[in-house]
A and B are shown apart, each in its own frame.
Chain A
Amino acid sequence: MGVKLLLEKASVPGIRSYDVYRREGGYAAVEKALKEMSIEAIVEEVKKSGLRGRGGAGFPAGMKWSFIAKPEGVPRHLVCNADESEPGTFKDRYLMEFLPHLLIEGLIISSFALGSNDTYIYIRGEYAWVATILEEAILEATKNGWLGKNILGTGFDCMIHVHRGAGAYICGEETALIESLEGKRGNPRIKPPFPAIQGLWMRPTVVNNVETLAAIVPIIKMGGEEYAKIGVGRSTGTKLISACGNINKPGVYEIDMTISVEDFIYSDEYCGGIANGKKLKACIPGGSSVPILPANLLLKTAKGETRYMNYESLSDGGFATGSMMGSGGFIVLDEDQCIVKNTLTLARFYRHESCGQCSPCREGTGWMEKILQKIESGKGEMSDIDLLWDIQIKIEGNTICPLGDAAAWPVAAAIRHFRDEFEWHINHKELAQTSNFGLQHYADPIHVPA
């Protein structure tokens, strides 16, 4: 059994309610932070913990907090990013649904450290029942004196507000989220200015992921140094992984980041192996935006070393032979799956979700979808593969926000590692129209680019 810092109490009956959560030691971290620690000391512990943002980019949380501007007389805000819309990712939902008070506890401490009297949880609109769970928990916490005016006699006032989005992946991007929270379309802003200087209502703002903010609780309880001892290298603490696709046990798992990818997939404690006795073909280890890896490169790096479930190891080899930890959305594909088709569904997703502000993203995502559709349905030409490659290169790095990159990477990686599958669709037009591409067509050893 691995270390559990976040989900330790998830299976305690009734833990969603305040009374049970409190009985199990809940809100002790708020007491400690607000009564015994200074703001500087809290930020220092978070820095020492090495906690990296769990929303996808992995930016050190303590450092982000220390960037927040503190102009005299201007309110500051903490915003919790619960937009969770990256395909393959459903960990924040689990945390909020089963342990709402853990998030609230983390939010109170973080709000105190950042000086946010009004903190917002921006939750994706579809999670309507989760929003209700959070609102009930906030009410309970308020009744018990953990939120409201003069919390624990410290003079610190704090309210947490739940704000429901309305269906737009782009609102997970922090500046689009802020626009949306202001009641506008989710068009990302050009940075700088960064939210830490001018964010919500042009006030200094920190946006953090749900899991990042929940992790503040164990960090305060055990101290940053102890937290940093868990894991390896710059991958400290524990990480929630939402595993899905063709595995025996899809679900949300808390791992300490020393476990190998192979153990994660095959051990009974986690994914429990590939479903229906099939073989592992490929995996998108960190949410739909990160590069897909074929089985061999997933389990071992290009150098032949074991690959582990942490930031450094998953990205070992760069995009040529590696991938990314991303949001922790772990999507497993078995031998029967068609990479072209899977990539097509992702391209359609990004076309649908592009906000349309920049032409490379707006036009490029549409073209990629169309070309993939053409190839998948057995109407493609060889030149289409090169065209696809060319379009993704022209999108990457040429847009206002990283959604452009996120749309380009899955297409690039699919061509890089599974070009033969694209070619098969073009060389076997009739078969491509009637059947799905599976491992039986995939006898060649997997090509590793230099």
Chain B
Amino acid sequence: MSLQFNKEQMTEFNRLVAHYPEGKQKSALLPVLHLAQDSFGGWLPTEAMDYVASLLSIEPIEVYEVATFYSMYHLKPMGKFIFEVCQTGPCMISGSENIIAYIQRQLGIQPGETTKDGLFSLKLVECLGACGYAPMMQVGKIYKEHLTKDKVDAIIAEYRLQAKA
């Protein structure tokens, strides 16, 4: 098996599993899948899921059924930066549609697509609990709130720069 946690990731794995009683290690599945996704290039190939199953001593199917249920797990390769823009009611009435259209234009992609250079993916998501700071999107672990066209431009530039570094 080529996919494996390195030493540091293994320490984190052990920390996550230690939160649950003996024999209830399956409870760590969601946190461990986050760790796997972060560790293995931002998505969960079957190999990664099988690896997690073996680490937690559960059947691979128990991992697949969970990975396909939750929206934060990606089952195919994604861009380096994923723009997850909220499209639910409160954001919609605060102007998210214009922002979504603007991002589409600036990146030249439709929702669900990734830019040719592999840098950006665009995904439309449901309420992220930031309705008072709308319109908003999540990029990785960060919330970008009160979006305007200027702010979108600045954010794209910021990540382009980050990719070069």
A361 within 8 A of B: no
Interface flags for A236-252 (1: CB within 8 Å of B; 0: not) read 00000011111000111
Q: Tell me the count of chain A residues lying within 8 A, CB to CB, of chain B.
A: 57
Question: Are the CB atoms of A163 and B128 closer together than 8 Å?
Answer: no
A233 within 8 A of B: no
| Chain B positions within 8 Å of A246 at CB level | 93-94
A449 CB, min distance to chain B CBs, angstroms = 24
Q: How many A-B residue pairs have CB under 8 A?
A: 147
User: Which chain A residue lies CB-closest to B141?
Assistant: A128
User: Which chain B residue lies CB-closest to A75?
Assistant: B21
Q: Bound complex: CA of A322 vs CA of B56, how far in Å? A: 50
Question: Are the CB atoms of A244 and B90 closer together than 8 Å?
Answer: yes
Interface residues of B in 77-127 (CB under 8 A from A): 87-90, 92-94, 125-127
Check A341/B92 contact, CB under 8 A, given A182-B26, A250-B133.
Answer: yes
Question: Are the CB atoms of A163 and B129 closer together than 8 Å?
Answer: no
Check A337/B93 contact, CB under 8 A, given A93-B129, A165-B70, A166-B71.
Answer: yes
How many chain B residues sit at the interface, stated as a range, is 35 or more
Q: Bound complex: CA of A443 vs CA of B20, how far in Å? A: 60
Check A90/B70 contact, CB under 8 A, given A166-B34, A245-B90.
Answer: no
Interface residues of B in 11-29 (CB under 8 A from A): 19-21, 24, 26-29
Within the complex, which residue of B70, B93, B134 is in contact with A168, where a contact is CB–CB below 8 Å? B70
Question: Are the CB atoms of B132 and A183 closer together than 8 Å?
Answer: no
Interface flags for B134-155 (1: CB within 8 Å of A; 0: not) read 1000100111000000000000
Question: Are the CB atoms of B19 and A89 closer together than 8 Å?
Answer: no
Interface flags for B57-90 (1: CB within 8 Å of A; 0: not) read 0100010011001111100000000000001111
Within the complex, which residue of A167, A243, A334, A337 is in contact with B71, where a contact is CB–CB below 8 Å? A167
A294 CB, min distance to chain B CBs, angstroms = 15
Question: Are the CB atoms of B128 and A126 closer together than 8 Å?
Answer: yes
Q: Bound complex: CA of A169 vs CA of B66, how far in Å? A: 15
B27 CB, min distance to chain A CBs, angstroms = 5
Within the complex, which residue of A129, A184, A288 is in contact with B142, where a contact is CB–CB below 8 Å? A129
B30 within 8 A of A: yes
A214 within 8 A of B: no
Interface residues of A in 263-292 (CB under 8 A from B): 284, 288
Question: Are the CB atoms of A168 and B71 closer together than 8 Å?
Answer: yes
- For the complex with contacts A85-B129, A166-B30, 14 further pairs of A-B residues with Cβ separation under 8 Å are A126-B72, A127-B129, A128-B141, A129-B143, A161-B20, A163-B30, A165-B30, A166-B33, A183-B28, A246-B94, A251-B132, A288-B127, A331-B93, A345-B89
